[in-house]
Amino acid sequence: MIPGTPLTIAPVGKLRWAVSAGCAPSRSNGPEPAFTSRDQFSVLNTGSTMANLRIRVLYERHSPVGFYRLTIAARRVRTFRVNDLIFPEAVRLDEPYGLLMESDCPVVVQFTRQDTRQAANASMMAMAFFDIPGRSL
């Protein structure tokens, strides 16, 4: 790279993602907000345009819910708590769920859980599964 020239980054990621192991805990142990139990996902948009993400939630024992709509600015990362997905309805706590995500430009998705229900805290992190584009949610 030549000093003084802008850094150009080709968009990285995929258009469709899935998370299969969701289950947002309703209980926590410790001071809030740092020790609040939660599921969250981070979305990385390396492209030059805003990413428009739509999310559908699938449950073990309930009908699918969605679409939730989120945006990620160009060349930014944004982290969302699953507990904050409230429209069209709040995500059910303590219920197994999966997320299907579709973006209008390539993004990268990472899923994280912080479980503080017990005194010994636990965290888990995983990359979401990506799908080949071509079908819609």
- Label residue 135 by pLDDT band (50, 70, 90): low
What one-letter code names the amino acid at 100?
A: L
Give dist(CA 113, CA 91) in Å, integer: 15
Give the pLDDT of residue 105: 94
Residue range 30-81, pLDDT digits in tens: 666 666 667 889 999 999 999 999 999 999 999 999 899 999 999 999 999 8
**Highest mean pLDDT: which range of 43-52, 90-99, 106-115, 119-128:** 43-52
Contacts 24+ apart (CB under 8 A), 66-73: 66/100, 66/137, 67/137, 70/43, 72/43, 72/44, 72/45, 72/107, 73/45
pTM score of the predicted model: 0.78
Mean per-residue pLDDT for 117-135? 57
Residue range 7-28, pLDDT digits in tens: 666 788 999 999 888 887 776 6
Is the distance from CB of 133 to CB of 14 less than 8 angstroms? yes
Q: Is 43 exposed, middle or buried (0-12, 13-18, 19+ CB in 10 A)?
A: buried
